Each structure stands twice: as C-alpha cells, then as structure tokens.
Amino acid sequence: MPPDASRTVATEALVEVEDLARDFDVSRPWLFRVLNGEPRRIVHAVAGVSFAIPRGTTLSLVGESGCGKTTVARLVVGLYRPTRGRIRFDGSDITALGADDAARSIRRRINMIFQDPYASLNPRWRVRDIIAEPLRAFRVLEDERAIAERVAELLRHVGLSPKDGEKYPHEFSGGQRQRISIARALSATPDFLVCDEPTSALDVSVQAQILNLMKDLQEEMGLTYLFISHNLAVVRHMSDRIGVMYLGRIVELAPTDALFEAPRHPYTRMLLDAIPDLEMTGRRRIPVGGEVPSPIAPPPGCAFHPRCPFADARCRAEVPRLRAEGEALVACHAVEEGRLAA
C-alpha cells in the first residue's frame, strides 16, 4: 500500500480497503489453448485499490465500463474473493469471512443494492417475504408477528404502503422495485450499504426520488455508503469523497468539491469535460480521443498514457502511485513533476 494513501485513513473509518486486487481467468478451454499454442488470459479487473470510508459518509467510485468499479463493490460485500489485499470493517478483518456466528453478525451489518430492480427481486416471492429474508437469514427476528410489523414499518419508510407486501414484484414500476430493494437492504439494520448503480435503470424523475430517499435514510440512520456509478452528476450529488477509476486502479481520490472544482488527473479532467451539461448550452467542448484499452493487455506504465496529452517516457514505463496533492490523492507522473498546469 502506498504510504501516502494510509495517511488519509481516518481513525473513525468504518470500512478500510488495502491494496485490493482481483483477477479473472478468461482463458479459452484447455484443449483449444494447447492446439493453438495460446497462453492463459488473465483480466486484472481490480489491480490494487486502497480507500477508507469514514462512518456516516459516502464514498463513490466512478469510471467507464470495465474500470473495475462493480468488481470492487462485489469484493467489499464478499460476493467475490480477492486475489490480493485486505478489507477491514469496523476494525475486524473481513477479507475471508467464514460461516460462524461472528461472521454472521458482521455480514448482517453490510448489505447491497443492485442496479437492475427487474433482476434482483425474486419474481415468485411476495414483497413481504423478499423484505423479511435478511431478518430470517440473520435470525434478527424469529416471531412472525414481529417480522410482519417490521416489514410494514420498512415499507412505509421507503414510501410504499404496508398493503404492498402482499403483492409480487411484477406489479411494481422500476422506481417502486428499487424502493423494495432498499427496504430489503435495510431490514436487518445494517450500518454499511454498497450501492451498485442503484438509479441507472431508472428515469430521471424517478432517480431523483430514489436519490432523495437514500440521502434521507443516510441522515436518519447514520448509514455509510459505497456508491458505484458512471454518472458524474449523480456522484457529485451523493458523495463526500470520490474515487475515479481507470482500468482497475484509482487514479484520483478527492473530496467531492475539490474533485469537481480542481480536477488534477488528466483522466478526471477528460471525464468532466466529456459530460454534456445543461449549463453549457451553446458551449463548445473539446472532444477527447481514444477508447478504454482492453484490461487483458493494459498498456505498460500508466494505463491512461495512450490517451493522455501529457504522457512522456516515464508514463509509458512506470506505473504511477497515488500521492497526496493538497486534499486529493493523485496517481500521475505529470502532476507529481509539475508538468501539468493546475
């Protein structure tokens, strides 16, 4: 872990991630490889990511498809095992949680909201059973009457009616389904929610309702969020700190306003410049060139160098580490050497 990154780890961090990495084997079948003399192919989906999330705050990870943000989310909740690195939650190491009671009591405190509310709710279950599942799985409540009361309370809390518990998911719109997902995620009273693109399948007016609800719940219940999104406007609205990811690494990690007002990494600048914005009516933007390279064979050195206007020989050879620059952490040789005008 780079020494500079550890400095920002606040003592009250609820979640700490150190040098987290995950590889996926995407090789073709063995016989095919042997016949064609092909090597194994490994995708370094997440290649060493470190961050800390102070209690009650929101950290967002933002980036384009394939940058590894969803993999980080899945690693943090334990849906994938990391290839390398550590995850700490409230002081205890949860990198390889077992199935004992201690592990169960930690898992209860972590939950997740998924992107697609059409795929993440079981269509054969009534809404009340969907919401009660964490209560039963973690044996938070055993008495059926108490469970029913808790489900009714949760439904009201997310803006639905207790009567909706009798219905099936297909009877609801996308926004209402996402409310059901939120109720399910909250039912076992977690402290930490991982939200993977929770509003990107929703229309913008419905998105506003869900984002407002998520902010209200955070304030009320002191929740900590890891928020994954490709939408920079949504991320600006939701986060305290933002990590910008590119090809499996965090290239810039900064407080929200600092990131938007003084982006440092050339990739962050490019992303901000690329978003069409309502305020910019009539403004001409400089289009950016190139596409995200394949994560199977990432460019050597800084993975962004083929698209970067400031790249030099060092950028092509040496992977830059995250270094403190003011309030931000930036992984860029050009920023470090002052070659890049601030």
Quick note: the x/- pattern for other proteins over 277-296, rule CB under 8 A, is xxxxxxx-x-xxx-xx----
- In the region spanning residues 42 to 101, those forming contacts with other proteins, defined by CB under 8 A, are 64-65
Pick from 57, 32, 61: which is nearest to 45 by CA? Answer: 61
Site residues for other proteins, window 157-186 (CB under 8 A)? 173, 175-176
**Based on CB atoms, which residue is closest to other proteins, 11 or 205?**
205
| Shortest Å distance, C-beta 293 to other proteins | 10
Between residues 187 and 207, which has the closer beta carbon with respect to other proteins? 207
220 binds other proteins (CB under 8 A): no
The kind and range of the H/E element at 324 are strand 323-325
Q: Which of 97, 79, 101, 81 is nearest to 89 (CA)?
A: 97
| Helical ranges in 222-338 per DSSP H | 232-238, 256-261, 266-274, 313-317, 333-336
**Using rule CB under 8 A, residue 209 touches other proteins:** yes
Q: Smallest distance, Å, CB 67 to other proteins?
A: 9
| Least spacing, CB of residue 176 vs other proteins, in Å | 8
Contacts of residue 206, Cβ cutoff 8 Å, sequence gap at least 6: 173, 174, 175, 178, 199
Contact track, other proteins, 116-155, x by CB under 8 A: ----------------------------------------
Comparison of 274 and 317: residue with beta carbon closer to other proteins: 274
Under rule CB under 8 A, residue 11 binds other proteins? no
Pairwise CA distance, residues 102 & 138, whole Å: 11
Count of residues interacting with other proteins (CB under 8 A): 44
- The C-alpha atoms of residue 114 and residue 179 are separated, in whole angstroms, by 11
Q: Which of 25, 124, 205, 338 binds other proteins (CB under 8 A)?
A: 205
Q: How far is the CB of 269 from other proteins (least distance, A)?
A: 11
Q: Distance between terminal CA atoms of the chain?
A: 26
Find the binder of other proteins among 14, 182, 232, 242 (CB under 8 A): 232
The one segment of 22-30, 81-89, 108-116, 204-212 that binds other proteins by CB under 8 A? 204-212
**What is the Cα–Cα distance from 79 to 89, expressed in whole angstroms?**
15
Is 211 one of the binding residues for other proteins (CB under 8 A)? yes
Binder of other proteins out of 119, 275, 296, 317 (CB under 8 A) = 275
* 126 touches 136 (CB < 8 A): no
Contact between residue 255 and residue 327 where contact means Cβ atoms under 8 Å apart: yes
Determine the Cα–Cα distance for residues 175 and 225; give it in Å rounded to an integer: 20
